[in-house]
């Protein structure tokens, strides 16, 4: 990935679970595990911190979780707005 396309890196440290109907009101407790989800990011995955209370909450923000991992320095590379994955890589 070219560094000039990266807006910033976002390390996973806090729980970003938001109960249904509370957009923008994430939990904020220290994350104890990392939920690995599929996404349309360049890497195809997204890491979401989860506290012990929300790691196994059903559905909503936890929909699409592939697996839970211990926290080990996972970082989401957030790209500038408007960036789109190329259709094919030559």
Q: What is the four-CA torsion angle of 62, 66, 69, 75, rounded to 10 degrees?
A: -80
Domain ranges of the chain: 3-78
pLDDT at 59: 82
Predicted structure pTM score: 0.70
For residues 84 and 55, give the distance between their C-alpha atoms in angstroms, rounded to a whole number. Answer: 30
Closest C-alpha to 27, from 10, 15, 11: 15
pLDDT at 82: 59
pLDDT at 27: 92
Residues across the chain: 90
pLDDT at 73: 81
Q: What's the pLDDT band for 6 if we cut at 50, 70, 90?
A: very low
Mapped onto helix, strand or coil, the DSSP state of residue 5 is helix
Report pLDDT digits (tens) over 15-73: 999 988 887 789 999 999 999 998 876 678 888 999 999 999 988 889 889 999 998 88
């Amino acid at each position: 990935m070219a560094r000039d396309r990266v807006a910033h890196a976002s390390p996973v440290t806090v729980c970003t679970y938001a109960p249904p109907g509370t957009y923008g009101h994430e939990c904020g407790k220290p994350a104890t595990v990392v939920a690995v989800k599929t996404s349309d990011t360049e890497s195809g995955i997204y890491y979401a911190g989860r506290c012990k209370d929300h790691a196994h909450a059903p559905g909503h923000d936890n929909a699409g979780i592939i697996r839970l991992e211990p926290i080990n320095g996972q970082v989401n590379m957030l790209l500038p707005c408007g960036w789109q994955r190329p259709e094919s890589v030559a």
